[in-house]
């Protein structure tokens, strides 16, 4: 599967520089060092003539190796039509792609091993979550291509050049952008609750912290399902502590960090943080969330609401909508009217606040050791840019028209693989190659359910209440944070859990905070604020 493009004219010096790298032609790209100019005039003339000849000859984009996350247990891009799907992708992008699928739970291990042998690093590497200290350290050592100037080129990269500058700052190390983020909406977090339980107990939509407490209490002790048994608990919780991070913002805490008196501080140094923890502890002590929440595995997240144990779910709003979908798809009856299904209400904020996402989840880096020529860099960036085109958003989300989906009379997608996982596998996983810049979804979509429309409206509303993390651009450039930040923040999170569960008292909590400061977090605060000023 070969794709051609016309080479541009090169200066003699550029040709010689690329020849030294073992490549015969190149497109001059922003950020590329220019080799020293030759002093041999005859040789320069001869080289220039050969360049003129090369400029009229189509040359191939190099193939791109791509380490991508496999969330499908080995069933990503597999099946009878998998090759056709991949051919469609390569024809559109103009790039041959060699995908190295890696299971999510071993991604960091595989990436670390690859970095230990730079020659083995895939040209494009996918990373989960946000930038870690490991990646920052590698970036400082030159492991990744500096993308800063490349991504300003709106002619070559019309999609990627539309990245959000504030989000891109979170992927900038020492002034160099080392990654391309995978975009997510900012206003994604909120509170969802069972509306039929609220109706049964005559509870109005909560707007304040006291309202939420009352709902949790009534959902626990007011017999919301009407079965006469003590078998319900208000708040859904597992060992995943994201709900605490969201609820803290209701009290006036920042999102990880906050500005206090002109200085950036971690939220656990705010007075509001302890107020929030005391409220969480009250919920725990009064049995308004599961007593064993800290040992419940994250793969059971949302099961409590689905099986009728819990009535409040605090996390991503699409999670609340999926619980609602479960009720509808499985015909779970409403406790107030058995002829209707149970339902969820999604809220964008409490007390006028919710937690913002970082604006991305996961990112791509280009490996400097294997993206080591202008042609390879351009091939990798062209692939990532074209994967954000409408055609690729449709392909990676719905597959092949006439095979896995069709377009109905209303112009919406109608899935042909709705109940056929083997058919979905033909294109499943390929969305892991998409940065979603500037669009989070294709213009061509399935007809949205009323539930999905409500979710979209609530997410849009949440953006105005979303509390951002003001320290993100600075944490990535804190040397101490890169080396110690994750471990120290894990200790803070552990102390929060211990305090809520009564394993330590307030003195023990404050001692844990001081220990973290002494172990290096005070230096992190200094390094962050030195940049902030």
The residue with tokens 């590698």 is 138
Q: Do domains 64-185+359-440 and 189-355 have the same CATH topology?
A: yes
Res 511: pLDDT: 98
> What is the structure's pLDDT at 533?
83
Determine how many CB atoms are found less than 10 A away from the CB of residue 494: 15
In angstroms and rounded to an integer, the radius of gyration of the C-alpha atoms of the chain is 26
Residues of the chain with pLDDT under 70: 1-59
The sheet carrying 344-347 orders its strands as 233-235, 310-316, 189-194, 344-347
What are the C-alpha distances in Å from 154 to residues 9, 97, 166, 209?
Answer: 20, 23, 18, 46
For domain 64-185+359-440, the question of CATH label 3.30.450.40 is answered with: no
* pLDDT reported for residue 329: 95
- Sorted by where each begins, the domain ranges of the chain are 4-60, 64-185+359-440, 189-355
- With 0-12 / 13-18 / 19 or more C-beta atoms within 10 angstroms meaning exposed / middle / buried, residue 453 is exposed
Distance CA 306, CA 297 (A): 16
| Angstrom distance (rounded) from CA 97 to CA 84 | 14
147 and 177 Cβ atoms separated by less than 8 Å: yes
Q: At a CB cut-off of 8 Å and minimum separation 6, what does 384 contact?
A: 124, 160, 180, 364, 433, 435
Torsion of CA 513, 505, 234, 354, to 10 degrees: -20
Residues 6 or more apart whose CB falls under 8 angstroms from that of 292 comprise: none
Would you state the pLDDT for residue 105?
A: 83
The residue written with tokens 């005070």 in the block is 522
Please give the pLDDT value at position 389. Answer: 98
The CB density around residue 387, as the number of other CB atoms within 10 Å, is 27
According to CATH, the superfamily of the domain at 189-355 is: Periplasmic binding protein-like II (3.40.190.10)
């Amino acid at each position: 599967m070969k794709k051609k493009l016309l080479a541009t004219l090169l200066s003699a010096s550029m040709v010689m520089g690329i020849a030294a790298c073992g490549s015969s032609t190149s497109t001059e790209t922003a950020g590329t060092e220019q080799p020293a100019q030759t002093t041999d005039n005859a040789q320069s003339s001869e080289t220039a003539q050969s360049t003129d000849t090369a400029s009229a000859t189509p040359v191939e984009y190099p193939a791109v190796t791509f380490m991508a996350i496999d969330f499908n247990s080995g069933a990503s891009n597999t099946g009878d039509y998998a090759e056709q799907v991949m051919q469609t992708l390569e024809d559109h992008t103009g790039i041959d792609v060699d995908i190295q699928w890696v299971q999510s739970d071993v991604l960091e291990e595989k990436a670390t091993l690859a970095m230990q042998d730079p020659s083995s690093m895939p040209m494009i590497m996918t990373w989960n979550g946000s930038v870690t200290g490991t990646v920052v350290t590698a970036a400082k050592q030159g492991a990744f291509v500096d993308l800063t100037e490349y991504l300003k080129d709106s002619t070559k990269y019309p999609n990627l050049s539309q990245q959000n500058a504030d989000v891109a700052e979170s992927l900038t190390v020492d002034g160099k952008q080392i990654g391309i983020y995978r975009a997510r909406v900012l206003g994604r977090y909120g509170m969802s609750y069972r509306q039929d339980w609220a109706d049964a107990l005559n509870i109005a939509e909560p707007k304040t912290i006291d309202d939420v407490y009352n709902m949790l209490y009534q959902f626990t002790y007011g017999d919301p399902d009407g079965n006469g048994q003590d078998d319900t608990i208000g708040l859904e919780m597992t060992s995943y502590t994201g709900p605490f991070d969201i609820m803290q913002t209701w009290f006036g805490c920042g999102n990880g960090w906050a500005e206090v008196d002109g200085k950036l501080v971690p939220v656990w140094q705010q007075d509001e943080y302890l107020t929030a923890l005391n409220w969480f502890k009250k919920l725990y002590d009064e049995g308004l969330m599961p007593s064993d929440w800290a040992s419940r595995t994250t793969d059971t997240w949302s099961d409590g609401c689905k099986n009728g144990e819990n009535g409040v779910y605090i996390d991503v709003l699409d999670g609340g909508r999926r619980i609602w979908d479960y009720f509808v798809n499985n015909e779970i009856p409403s406790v107030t009217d058995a002829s209707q299904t149970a339902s969820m209400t999604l809220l964008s904020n409490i007390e006028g606040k919710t937690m913002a996402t970082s604006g991305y989840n996961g990112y791509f880096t280009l490996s400097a050791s294997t993206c080591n020529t202008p042609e390879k860099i351009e091939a990798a960036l062209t692939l990532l840019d074209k994967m954000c085109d409408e055609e690729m958003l449709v392909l990676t989300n719905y597959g092949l028209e006439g095979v896995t989906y069709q377009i109905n009379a209303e112009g919406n997608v109608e899935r042909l693989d709705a109940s056929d996982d083997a058919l979905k596998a033909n294109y499943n996983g390929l969305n892991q190659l998409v940065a979603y810049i500037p669009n989070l979804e294709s213009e061509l979509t399935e007809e949205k359910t009323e539930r999905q429309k409500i979710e979209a409206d609530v997410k849009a509303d949440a953006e105005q209440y979303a509390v951002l993390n003001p320290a993100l651009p600075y944490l990535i450039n804190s040397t101490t944070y890169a080396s110690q930040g994750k471990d120290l923040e894990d200790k803070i999170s552990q102390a929060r859990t211990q305090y809520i569960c009564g394993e330590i008292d307030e003195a023990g909590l404050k001692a844990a905070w001081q220990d973290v400061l002494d172990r290096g977090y005070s230096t992190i605060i200094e390094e962050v604020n030195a940049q902030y000023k």
